[in-house]
Amino acid sequence: MKTKTQVCIIDDEQDGRDYISLLIKNEFPDLEIVFQAASVEEAYIDLTKNSPDIIFLDIQLNDGTAFDLLSKFKEISAQIIFITAYENFAIQAIKNGATDYLLKPIKKIDFVIAVNKALENIRKNKAAAVNSLTSNSKISLPTFQGFKMISISDIIRCEADSSYTTFYLVNKGQIIVSKTLADFEDVLSEHQFFRIHHKHLINLTHLQEYIKGKGGQVIMSDGSALDVSTRKKNDFLQKIENIE
């Protein structure tokens, strides 16, 4: 579960990455920088392993552009703050879902305004997600064609696979979503879901059996057997004891 808002910095200039890091440290110390990258290829690899909430993205990179990077993903849910020395990229940045657009050299006041805008968008998105769940206990899952409304009670478990999440349903159906498991963990945890492993978030109402072991193993209502990580074991057992 994320405890801090996570950010990444993608810029082919070391001075640029250092300056943004310094601004974050001085103005937003609660933000966590999860990675920095200097190229499209490096950033692509890092983004498949991480799910930052905010991306500081230089438009001109040494092996391509920010738009080349974004085209590699079907969807990126992060707030994107584009950074460049050229104003003529503004329209293209906006079309690519820019939260804001900063010109080099970056002014501190512009940086603070952009980050606060991103943080407010994140807050609103989380609030909307919670509201959608409390309304008829359903969740909206984005698909390539649009979205599907799924009853939370019909979700047996969720499984992480890099930057994708697979939802396993009671009708033996599956829905693959291009978001990380962490994007759903906070919201579903309010509805008797528990993350037993970095790959598995389970609906405790569909838990049928726990088998003792170093971490142990759970058997779900669909017959799946899932490992419980040793790090999660005590919290999991305590959660089960307190479940209503």
Instruction: Based on the fold, state whether residues 24 and 115 are members of the same structural domain.
Output: yes
Domain of 212 in residue numbering reads as 138-242
8 Å CB contact between 197 and 229: yes
Instruction: Based on the fold, state whether residues 196 and 210 are members of the same structural domain.
Output: yes
> Amino acid identity of 157?
R
Tell whether pTM > 0.75.
Answer: no
Bridge partners of residue 7, in order along the sequence: 33, 54
Instruction: Based on the fold, state whether residues 198 and 111 are members of the same structural domain.
Output: no
**Residue 144 falls inside a structural domain:** yes
Instruction: Based on the fold, state whether residues 56 and 147 are members of the same structural domain.
Output: no
Which CATH number does the domain housing residue 223 bear?
2.40.50.1020
8 Å CB contact between 220 and 157: yes
pLDDT in tens, 116-157: 999 999 888 777 665 555 545 888 888 777 788 999 999 999
pLDDT tens digits, the chain, 244 residues: what are they?
556 899 999 999 999 999 999 999 999 999 999 999 999 999 999 999 998 999 999 999 999 999 999 999 887 889 999 998 877 766 666 666 688 889 999 999 999 999 999 999 988 877 766 555 554 588 888 877 778 899 999 999 999 998 899 999 998 889 999 888 988 998 898 888 999 999 999 999 999 999 999 999 999 999 999 999 999 999 999 888 866 5
8 Å CB contact between 62 and 145: no
8 Å CB contact between 131 and 124: no
Instruction: Based on the fold, state whether residues 128 and 142 are members of the same structural domain.
Output: no
8 Å CB contact between 7 and 32: yes
Instruction: Based on the fold, state whether residues 155 and 118 are members of the same structural domain.
Output: no
